[in-house]
Structure formats: structure tokens, C-alpha cells
């Protein structure tokens, strides 16, 4: 059987985007969107991919001429598309000069990255004469400095790493390297004035290569990628920049905003909050996956009450935006192609509950003047799960939760940053 690059022709496009990361997420998210943008006639540009770590998929991607198949699957059906926007993949550990030369191209305008949550971090081991430096921000600093020395304009930077204020954090670390490496005040001013470090929020489950499945494409493709249908990219930055990547003109769920926080809160409270609320309760009842909960009328009712009756009333975005997002969440939970184990979500449930669910409980009480019964049922189940189930958490937390009384748990300022004894009566109904 022939390979994908032997039967598919890749159009010739100008390289306009530098992408740090060749893994499944960016290929099933940003590159898929850029494919739609090119196919829709609203953009003409390709992506030069940089392999951010020494061992990666760059060679395999290059062997297929940057081509791969992306398959989207869900309750909506199945959609298959060949992605041809990647021009090449550069490994800076093998050819550092080729990496730096990306900065010399005046057509390059956008930098996208996904180097994992640990990728945006400062390392004092990185030096300006390293070829390459190890960390992503240090590599980026070297690239930006090369760009500066060529007298060219800066970039729109769209980091997709899952950390809060990722754009601000990336800029802060680049500036620290600029100071440490003594790159000069003029370069620092250029970084600040000629570049747009946009914080972003990304949301799509990319399930990667379908290893346990046999999918007949009619050709060989070792880089097949799979994902759900839902996608969301919220970008905090000057809305005029959206004209350079007009995703919204072709119906993609990309939002440019001057304030990312309401969208982050929406995701954390609704999607993550629903997960964290239901998982201990579901595990105690013998369920194993999110899909199995959605297929059970009792669990589905529990989830719906959490989201629509008790979480949404605590949020400040327009009602339709919130309910539409919640409807999408339930549809995503029902995806038959995604086997999301409750035991995986249950990791570190106490800290997750504190961040994802407790704020909804407290805000509901503040706004409604009464307790949210379903979320507190989830709170009681959380305590019971740590006492009788199989939690996976910090050993100190697990020992305390198992041995302490409900009163001691609720009053633990160390766990919750406040005394929650006022919730005792409701929580005790479900914890004992």
C-alpha cells in the first residue's frame, strides 16, 4: 500500500507560522484550523514546525512530507481530512542554524506553541551560546534576538500551554533571559513593543493515534491523528490582530477578547467542575467511565442539576453562551469514541474540588441565599470516597481524609483556605 505522501499532493504556500510542537494536540487543533482557513480562501500560509525536545516525531513527519490524516469523531458522526499545512519540521538539536534562520524570513508572523505545562519555565542552566538552549523560552529568546538583529518586525505569539496567563508568563521569562544574557535595552524594548504575547485558553480533546483500532484509509499514514468535534480557542489580545487569522469568518469557535478570565472560569466551573463533582459519587456507585455515567438516567440527572441549576447561576457570561457551552459539554461527555476513565479524573480530587467546585458552592450561597444540594451531595461523596474508596492523592491528604471526622475535614483551613463548618449539616447527609 502506498504512503500518504505518494498519493496526496501538497500545495505550495508561503511559510508564515512557526510552531513549537509536533505532537497530536497542535496538529489536531491549530493546524486543523489553519487547514480550514486555507481551504476557505481566507488565508494562504504554511507552518514550519520546530521540534521542542531532542526526541520527537519530526523525522516521521518529514518522511510523509508533513502530510497526515485527521479524523474527528463524536455523536455528530465522523469527519476525515488530510492536513497539508505543515511545510517541514526542523530539529534544532540537529540543525540549529536552520532553526535560527526561521527568524530571517520577513513573511513569518505568528508563533504557536504547545510544549506541555512544564514548557513555559525558566532554567538558569540555559546560556546564550547553547546550540540550542534546552528550554522553550530560551530557544524563543534566541530566535527573537536573531529577528531583532535583522531589523525585522516581531510576532503574534499564541502559546497553548495549559497554564494561567500563559502569554504573560512567556513574555516575562523571555525578558528575564534578555536581562541575564545582557542582550541590551534596545532588544528588550523591541520585545515589548514589536511583539504581541497573547494569553490563550484552548479546549479540545485530541485522542492522538488510534493505536488499538484498525482504520482503513486506503493508504499508509503513521501520523494519523484523532479528536472530538468540539474546539474552542480564546485569545486575549488586540482584536485587530484577528484580521490576520480570520478564523471567525469561516465559523470556527475562536474568540478574541480583552479579558480571558470569564471564559477560563466558565471552563473550570462547568466542564472541570462537573467532572470533579460527579467522579467520587459515580465511583462509589460502581461506574467506570464518563460515558457510562451519561448512559445512566440517575447519573445524568445528577450531572445536569450540578451544571444547569447550581453552577450556571453563579457565572456572569450571557445566559445563552453558558447554556450553549453546557450543552456542548454534555455532548462531549457522551462521545462514544472517548474512553475517559473516572479513576483518571479522580487524581488529586481534594485540590481539584477546592479550585473547580467550592467556588461555585460559595457563590451559589451568596447569590441564592441557600445551599446548592447537588454540589453538596458531591462534596459529601468526595469525603466518603476518601474514607471508603480508592483515592489517588498526596499521602498526607489521604491519611487525614480517611481518619478525620467530617467536622475536622470541613473546618480544615489547610485544605480549603477557610473554615467550611457551616456546610456541615448538608454535607453530613451524604458523607456518613
Cα 33 from Cα 48, distance rounded (Å): 15
> Which has the closest alpha carbon to 84: 66, 64, 111?
66
Please check whether residues 27 and 148 belong to one and the same domain: yes
Please check whether residues 49 and 138 belong to one and the same domain: yes
Q: What is the pLDDT of residue 429?
A: 87
Where the chain has pLDDT below 70, the residues are none
Please check whether residues 229 and 99 belong to one and the same domain: yes
Q: What is the pLDDT of residue 332?
A: 97
Which CA distances in Å does 99 have to 34, 48, 143, 225, 337?
22, 10, 8, 26, 38
CB 375 within 8 A of CB 357: yes
Cα dihedral 31, 32, 38, 41 sign: negative
Q: Tell me the DSSP string of 43-73.
A: ---EEEEE--SSSSSHHHHHHTTT-EEEEEE
CATH of the domain at 387: 1.10.1040.10
Q: What is the pLDDT of residue 225?
A: 97
3-state secondary structure of 288: coil
Cα 393 from Cα 412, distance rounded (Å): 17
Cell numbers describing residue 213:
483500532
CB 370 within 8 A of CB 310: no
Please check whether residues 222 and 361 belong to one and the same domain: no
Cα 276 from Cα 294, distance rounded (Å): 15
Please check whether residues 127 and 158 belong to one and the same domain: yes
Cα 233 from Cα 160, distance rounded (Å): 9
Class of residue 233 by CB neighbours under 10 A (exposed 0-12, middle 13-18, buried 19+):
buried
Please check whether residues 252 and 278 belong to one and the same domain: no
Domain stops at, among 217, 234, 257: 257
pLDDT in tens, 32-43: 999 999 999 999
CATH of the domain at 79: 3.40.50.720
Please check whether residues 55 and 173 belong to one and the same domain: yes
Q: What is the pLDDT of residue 118?
A: 83
Please check whether residues 108 and 180 belong to one and the same domain: yes
Cis peptide before 132 (omega within 30 of 0): yes
Please, what's the b/e burial string for 405-422 (b: 16 or more CB within 10 A of its CB; e: otherwise)? ebeebbbbeebbeeebee
Cα 112 from Cα 32, distance rounded (Å): 13
Question: What is residue 19's DSSP assignment?
Answer: E
CB 13 within 8 A of CB 31: no
Class of residue 365 by CB neighbours under 10 A (exposed 0-12, middle 13-18, buried 19+):
middle
Question: What is residue 249's DSSP assignment?
Answer: G
Domain stops at, among 220, 237, 257: 257
Cα 22 from Cα 330, distance rounded (Å): 30
Cα 174 from Cα 120, distance rounded (Å): 10
Please check whether residues 207 and 287 belong to one and the same domain: no
Class of residue 1 by CB neighbours under 10 A (exposed 0-12, middle 13-18, buried 19+):
exposed
Cα 346 from Cα 188, distance rounded (Å): 44
Domain stops at, among 257, 277, 293: 257
Please check whether residues 63 and 201 belong to one and the same domain: yes
Pairing type for strands 254-257 and 232-236 reads parallel
Q: Tell me the DSSP string of 199-247.
A: EEEEE--B--S-TT-----SSB-TT-EEE-S--EEEEES-GGGGGTS-G
CA 229 to chain centre: 15
Cα 396 from Cα 16, distance rounded (Å): 50
Please check whether residues 209 and 280 belong to one and the same domain: no
Question: Any idea what the Cα angle at residue 29 is, between residues 26 and 33, rounded to 5°?
Answer: 120
pLDDT in tens, 235-269: 999 999 999 999 989 999 999 999 999 999 999 99
Domain that holds residue 278: 261-431
Find all residues with CB under 8 Å of 285, minimum gap 6, and list them. 299
3-state secondary structure of 316: coil
Q: What is the pLDDT of residue 94?
A: 97
Please check whether residues 220 and 279 belong to one and the same domain: no
pTM over 0.75: yes
Cα 161 from Cα 145, distance rounded (Å): 22
Structural domains counted in the chain: 2
pLDDT in tens, 87-136: 999 999 999 999 999 999 999 999 999 998 789 999 999 999 999 999 99
CB 10 within 8 A of CB 68: no
Amino acid at each position: 500500500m502506498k504512503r500518504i505522501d505518494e498519493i496526496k499532493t501538497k500545495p505550495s504556500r508561503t511559510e508564515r507560522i512557526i510552531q513549537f510542537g509536533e505532537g497530536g494536540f497542535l496538529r489536531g487543533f491549530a493546524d486543523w484550523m489553519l487547514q480550514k482557513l486555507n481551504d476557505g480562501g481566507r488565508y494562504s500560509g504554511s507552518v514550519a514546525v520546530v521540534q521542542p525536545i531532542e526526541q520527537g516525531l519530526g523525522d516521521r513527519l518529514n518522511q510523509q512530507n508533513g502530510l497526515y490524516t485527521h479524523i474527528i469523531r463524536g455523536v455528530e458522526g465522523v469527519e476525515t481530512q488530510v492536513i497539508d499545512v505543515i511545510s517541514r519540521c526542523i530539529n534544532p538539536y540537529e540543525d540549529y542554524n536552520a532553526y535560527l534562520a526561521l527568524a530571517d524570513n520577513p513573511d513569518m508572523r505568528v508563533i504557536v506553541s504547545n510544549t506541555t505545562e512544564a514548557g513555559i519555565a525558566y532554567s538558569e542552566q540555559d546560556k546564550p551560546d547553547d546550540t540550542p538552549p534546552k528550554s522553550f523560552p530560551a530557544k524563543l529568546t534566541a530566535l527573537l534576538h536573531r529577528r531583532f538583529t535583522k531589523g525585522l518586525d516581531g510576532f503574534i505569539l499564541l502559546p497553548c500551554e495549559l497554564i494561567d496567563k500563559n502569554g504573560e508568563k512567556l513574555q516575562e521569562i523571555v525578558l528575564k533571559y534578555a536581562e541575564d544574557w545582557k542582550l541590551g535595552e534596545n532588544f528588550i524594548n523591541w520585545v515589548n513593543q514589536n511583539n504581541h504575547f497573547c494569553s490563550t485558553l484552548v479546549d479540545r480533546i485530541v485522542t492522538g493515534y488510534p493505536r488499538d483500532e484498525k482504520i482503513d484509509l486506503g493508504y499508509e499514514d503513521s501520523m494519523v491523528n484523532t479528536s472530538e468535534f468540539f474546539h474552542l480557542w480564546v485569545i486575549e489580545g488586540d482584536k485587530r490582530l484577528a484580521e490576520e487569522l480570520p478564523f471567525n469568518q469561516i465559523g470556527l469557535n475562536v474568540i478574541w477578547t480583552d479579558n480571558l478570565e470569564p471564559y477560563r472560569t466558565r471552563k473550570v466551573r462547568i466542564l472541570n467542575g462537573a467532572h470533579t463533582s460527579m467522579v467520587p459519587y459515580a465511583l462509589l456507585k460502581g461506574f467506570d467511565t464518563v460515558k457510562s455515567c451519561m448512559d445512566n438516567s440517575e447519573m445524568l440527572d445528577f450531572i445536569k442539576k450540578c451544571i444547569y441549576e447550581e453552577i450556571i447561576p453563579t457565572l456572569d457570561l450571557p445566559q445563552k453562551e453558558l447554556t450553549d457551552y453546557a450543552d456542548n459539554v454534555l455532548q462531549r461527555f457522551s462521545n462514544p469514541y472517548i474512553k475517559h476513565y473516572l479513576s483518571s479524573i479522580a487524581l488529586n480530587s481534594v485540590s481539584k474540588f477546592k479550585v473547580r467546585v467550592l467556588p461555585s458552592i460559595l457563590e451559589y450561597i451568596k447569590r441564592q441565599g441557600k445551599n446548592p444540594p447537588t454540589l453538596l451531595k458531591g462534596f459529601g461523596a468526595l469525603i466518603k470516597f476518601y474514607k471508603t474508596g480508592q483515592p489517588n492523592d498526596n499521602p498526607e491528604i489521604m491519611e487525614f481524609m480517611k481518619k478525620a471526622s467530617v467536622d475536622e475535614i470541613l473546618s480544615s483551613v489547610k485544605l480549603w483556605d477557610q473554615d467550611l463548618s457551616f456546610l456541615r449539616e448538608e454535607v453530613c447527609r451524604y458523607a456518613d
